[in-house]
Amino acid sequence: MRSRFRSDRGLTVRMGITLFLLGLLYVGFVAALIALLKSWVLVVVIVALLFGAQYWFSDRIALFAMRGRVVERDDCPELHGVVDRLSALADMPKPVVAVSAMDMPNAFATGRNPDNAVICVTSGLLRRLEPAELEGVLAHELSHVAHKDVAVVTIASFLGVIAGLLVRFAFYSQLFGGGRRDQNTMAVLAVVMGVSAAVYAISFLLIRALSRYRELAADRAAALLTGRPSALASALTKVTGDIARIPTKDLRTAQAFNAFYFTPAFGAEPGLGRFFATHPSLEQRLDQLGRISAELGEAALPGKP
């Protein structure tokens, strides 16, 4: 299925490279699992079950974690109307529409493909944005579905999640079982822990690099589809500013899903952490939208001369 969202070769290449490099990591990772569990059959079964659960149920898991609920047209007619228009404009299946009761203004898309996609917005976003701004945000999320980068991030994050769990398992095995294990077993656990830690670190960096680019690609695609980059820029500025005023302690639960959000749930600019951030800076995103606005001959963006 091809939508009317402009294709992004740079995004496609980056997704391919990310998946290829992460695939290479499986060699060392699976070897570490087999060494620990001493059964390749058990390793295959465990990995397949966990991967299948994440791939097939990622939308339900995300909605449950963020207190989202599917809403029908009678519940949110205006929201459904915007999604209807954008789906028709993009020539793609309409995703399931959901609303989270969170006051934090944000939105995310999830699902393994365009036919099984969900777009969720928070009540805080609906309350704060004007119709044109909301359209820009929803177009941004729809582009993630059209470009299939939501599915790629879901798949790519799987290896890092499993590696992180294995690090914890090996650590506690050494911590609490060291006195009952021989030196060979301890050496195996140490190797497993080292390989898993390396896999987790590399996965983390690869996913973050892909995530930053995919957000710029989604901004670009949404601005070109709607023809109103200034509305998207206004939404970005408004949402980022409002999130910055929310106490950090209230954002901690949401931060686990930053890679999927329209804007990250940070109470302030993360400083050196921006090098490991899931999103480009607000300045980068506004600069890109400013260039698109100039190309389209649109009026100046908010805050721009």
Residue 261's DSSP bridge partners are: 108
DSSP state letter for 271: G
141 part of the active site: yes
Active-site pick, 141, 269, 295, 298: 141
CA–CA separation, 156 and 47 (whole Å):
14
Burial label for 231, CB within 10 Å (0-12, 13-18, 19+), is buried
User: Burial of 180 by CB count in 10 Å (0-12 exposed, 13-18 middle, 19+ buried)?
Assistant: exposed
Q: Which residues pair with 70 in a beta bridge?
A: 98
H or E stretch covering 250: helix 248-255
Which segments within the chain are labelled E, that is strand?
68-70, 96-100, 107-110, 118-122
Residue 215 is assigned to a ligand binding site: yes
How far, rounded to the nearest angstrom, does the alpha carbon of residue 176 sit from its chain's CA centroid?
A: 35
- Evaluate whether 107 touches 137 at the Cβ level (below 8 Å): yes
Just list the catalytic residues: 141
Residue ranges of the annotated binding site for Zn(2+) are: 140, 144, 215
